[in-house]
Structure 1
Amino acid sequence: MQIRSPHDSDLPALLALEQASFRNDRISRRSFRRWLRHRDCVFRVAVDGDTLLGYALVTLRRGTRLARLYSLAVDAAARGRGIAEALLGRVEQGAREAGALYLRLEVAEGNVAAISLYEKLGYLRFGLYEDYYEDHASALRMEKRIRPYTPSGDSRSLPWLPQTTAFTCGPASLMMAMAGLPGHYQPSPEEEIALWREATTVFMTSGHGGCHPLGLALAAHRRGFATEVWVNNEGPLFLEGVRDENKKRVMRIAHQGFVDECAASGITTHYSDIDQQQLTDRFSAGANILILISTYRMDSMKAPHWVTLSGFDDDCLYVHDPDMGNTSPHQGPDTARNPLDCQHLPIAREDFAAMSRFGSKRLRAVVVVAADRPPELD
């Protein structure tokens, strides 16, 4: 048996194995062709001469240290030879060499043999995704740290919510933050739009306006939460992406309105950078945190995007990303993400420093949301 990267000539055998292995959720010919050429994946096949015995496909989430086992199949006639274990070992190695720290997967709750194999190889259960497959079966969620580490910090349970439009990453992130704090806050699609209306900059490069950090802080303040803002630019934000002078004028007016209302509401605004220690100190003290990032390292689009901090350890900061990739007009259906690809994304600390700066002015913005007044921390 040989394990290698697949060739275009393997496509007919891959399709035949897929047809024989799965009744639902099969990978299409078009998708296999795409994965054969895709750079953000680790794809390996097991062969005996000209016979395909099995394959394993792992996808890599750009900009993060997360990999996901997308699919694994072994020919029924070849089972019992350790092929699945060998394939998993090779794709784990490939994901590790690509920089991934974690490998995640989902497996049908009733697939006892596969679950036993994953547990034997060190995968741990961390959740259940109900009604996951086309036949409405539930998926067990499993994860393995494929690089050793020493954990530290608070990785609390924080609800994950997807944004329902291309322009509501800020409201979705804020709903996660507020729903993860003590109290009775209830997120909803109606609330998502209401938050956007309260926090929008009105205009953006194209399409609907994004959300201003001060606007998000004000929206949380109106709902009874304590807020604190860190932003390293005092002037109007996001103007460099807008050419129309009248649009810029409106954005300046909106910005000044947010500034004045924050001052009147007693919301503390720090016009400076916040470092990772300050972020994790506030998180450990019980606050939830929204962070503005640039999506360039994730999708090469250079767009401002809000995410919510969900935990940290010595190597990474972890975030909930509300964007499932199916709301952007620039992305087709093949770019839609699994919800598991968007939760607790591990971002290496050295990468996070660059990712959390946006635009030519290297804008950094953070909104701290707490059930009570944020602690006085340096």
Structure 2
Amino acid sequence: MNFIYRPAQLADVDELLRLENQCFETDRLNTRNFQWMVSRANASLIVAEAGDHLVGYALVLFHRGTSLGRLYSLAIADAARGRGLGTQLLARAEQQAVERDCAYLRLEVRPDNAPAIALYERQGYRLFERVDDYYEDHAPALRYEKLIREHAERSARRIPYYRQTMDFTCGPACLLMAMKALQPSRAMARDEELQIWREATTVFMTSGHGGCSPQGLALAAWRRGFDAGLQVSVKGPLFLAGVRSEEKKQVMRLVHESFSRELAASTVEMLGNGALDLKSLKRNQALALVLISSYRLTRSKAPHWVLVTDADEDFVYLHDPDVDHGQQRQPLDCQYMPVSHREFAGMSCFGADRLRAAVIVYRLREST
């Protein structure tokens, strides 16, 4: 049986749907899903033809601003099994990811899918996580990853992940992750997420609830017994330009002045205004909450907090607490996201004044 490989077209949707229903009993893609993947998604859908029929496909999703690809699905018709089609589709999926400047390709597989697991492990994928209650039938998933482009491997340090529960709590979610990594006995709970937001919020933003300022987050970490450092490139209260009401601006100034007085009475270290010292973070086993413009990740121009979990010669790795379903992301896609140093430098400058802001969280103070 000879196979022809090509990008999927809208005319293939009916056959793709037939193949999907033949190969999977749950978590199936439907007609609308396939139409989206072919015509609009940030994805690559490769099909394999034999004669007049599709006998396999590989679907890879890409995430803006990162060097990470995700093999979302790989399907092979019963009649084409045992002929090396899975290996060929997987190789083409990896090539598509390399051409999109991805360094890693990740995938999830059911523990009872022995043929698929054998294929992935033969091709160099390594198991790095088990996720309970992942599929529609509540079965767990095994998460695999492969380095598909040569560069320095990141360290094996594992950082807990916490998904923000409100649109405006990205900063508290990042702080919860950092504190849990530095103090494993800590819980990561929604009540503390909201409490940190109450302590650190600027009160107002362009619309809706206010986000958290770097000063407020640094104080929240310090109050909980952690050594902290603060890096802010702009003096005075932040985000005033996005607020039209003079009354609201005055409230934000008062909040900032209160934070400034508390910082002066604390031991929070005021750091320089330059780029984040990633080597110092690794040397001190510290973690950094970094304010970014999320435009490069989600096309939203709002300020957003992420957690830097690691860095190597080629990439900065991020935990993003915001899982945006509109971007086809799941929580697993938002962990250890590899971002090139160039992309990171661009996204960590916010607004017309090129604001750079970071909160460094160190170990617990000895007296705590």
TM-score range normalised by the length of the shorter chain: over 0.9
Q: Given the alignment of the two structures, is residue 101 of structure 1 paired with residue 103 of structure 2, yes or no?
A: yes
CA displacement 1:200-219 (0-9 Å, x = unmatched): 01011111101100100111
1:244-323 paired onto structure 2 within 5 Å: 244-270=245-271, 272-275=273-276, 278-323=277-322
Equivalent residue, structure 1, for 2:334: 342
Change in CA separation of 1:116 and 1:99 when aligned onto 2, cut-off 3 Å: same
Aligned equivalents of 1:145 and 1:57: distance in 2? 18
Aligned equivalents of 1:155 and 1:311: distance in 2? 9
Question: Once the 2 structures are TM-superposed, how far is the Cα of residue 336 of structure 1 from its aligned partner?
Answer: 5.0
Question: Once the 2 structures are TM-superposed, how far is the Cα of residue 260 of structure 1 from its aligned partner?
Answer: 1.2
Question: Once the 2 structures are TM-superposed, how far is the Cα of residue 273 of structure 1 from its aligned partner?
Answer: 2.0
1:24-103 paired onto structure 2 within 5 Å: 24-103=26-105
Aligned equivalents of 1:345 and 1:185: distance in 2? 24
Q: Is the 8 A contact 1:290 1:307 kept in 2?
A: yes
Equivalent residue, structure 2, for 1:193: 194
Q: Runs of 4+ in structure 1 displaced over 4 angstroms? A: none
CA displacement 1:13-46 (0-9 Å, x = unmatched): 0111111111110011111111111351111000
Question: Once the 2 structures are TM-superposed, how far is the Cα of residue 63 of structure 1 from its aligned partner?
Answer: 0.7
CA displacement 1:133-184 (0-9 Å, x = unmatched): 11111111100011011336x4411100100111100000000000000363
SS in 1 for 2:182: coil
Q: Is the 8 A contact 1:227 1:373 kept in 2?
A: no
Aligned equivalents of 2:147 and 2:60: distance in 1? 15
SS in 1 for 2:153: coil
Aligned equivalents of 2:93 and 2:264: distance in 1? 53
The answer for unaligned runs of 5 or more in structure 1 is none
Question: Once the 2 structures are TM-superposed, how far is the Cα of residue 300 of structure 1 from its aligned partner?
Answer: 1.4
1:87 partner letter: L
SS in 1 for 2:264: helix
Instruction: Pick one of 346, 350, 358 that aligns with 2:350.
Output: 358
Q: Is the 8 A contact 2:10 2:39 kept in 1?
A: no
Instruction: Pick one of 122, 127, 130 that aligns with 1:128.
Output: 130
1:74 partner letter: I
Question: Once the 2 structures are TM-superposed, how far is the Cα of residue 269 of structure 1 from its aligned partner?
Answer: 2.0
1:92 partner letter: E
1:324-343 paired onto structure 2 within 5 Å: 324-326=323-325, 331=326, 335=327, 337-343=329-335
Q: CA RMSD in A?
A: 1.5
Change in CA separation of 1:360 and 1:155 when aligned onto 2, cut-off 3 Å: farther
SS in 2 for 1:230: strand
Equivalent residue, structure 1, for 2:232: 231
Q: Is the 8 A contact 1:169 1:323 kept in 2?
A: yes
Q: Is the 8 A contact 1:64 1:348 kept in 2?
A: yes
SS in 1 for 2:87: helix
Q: Is the 8 A contact 1:45 1:52 kept in 2?
A: yes
Q: Is the 8 A contact 1:283 1:289 kept in 2?
A: no
Aligned equivalents of 1:372 and 1:9: distance in 2? 59
Q: Is the 8 A contact 2:284 2:362 kept in 1?
A: no
SS in 2 for 1:64: coil
Q: Is the 8 A contact 2:132 2:139 kept in 1?
A: yes
Aligned equivalents of 2:90 and 2:184: distance in 1? 43
Q: Is the 8 A contact 2:60 2:70 kept in 1?
A: yes
1:213-228 paired onto structure 2 within 5 Å: 213-228=214-229
Aligned length: 364
SS in 2 for 1:265: coil
CA displacement 1:184-243 (0-9 Å, x = unmatched): 322201011000000001011111101100100111111111111001001211112111
Equivalent residue, structure 2, for 1:157: 158
Aligned equivalents of 2:82 and 2:162: distance in 1? 41
SS in 1 for 2:115: helix
Question: Once the 2 structures are TM-superposed, how far is the Cα of residue 266 of structure 1 from its aligned partner?
Answer: 2.6
Q: Given the alignment of the two structures, is residue 369 of structure 1 paired with residue 361 of structure 2, yes or no?
A: yes
Aligned equivalents of 2:297 and 2:110: distance in 1? 29
Aligned equivalents of 1:39 and 1:19: distance in 2? 21
1:149 partner letter: H
The answer for unaligned runs of 5 or more in structure 2 is none
Question: Once the 2 structures are TM-superposed, how far is the Cα of residue 271 of structure 1 from its aligned partner?
Answer: 5.3
SS in 1 for 2:127: strand
Normalising to structure 1: TM-score of the pair?
0.93
Q: Is the 8 A contact 2:64 2:298 kept in 1?
A: yes
Aligned equivalents of 1:42 and 1:183: distance in 2? 39
Question: Once the 2 structures are TM-superposed, how far is the Cα of residue 372 of structure 1 from its aligned partner?
Answer: 4.2
2:253 partner letter: R
2:201 partner letter: T
Q: Is the 8 A contact 2:324 2:330 kept in 1?
A: no
SS in 2 for 1:371: strand
Q: Is the 8 A contact 1:15 1:29 kept in 2?
A: yes
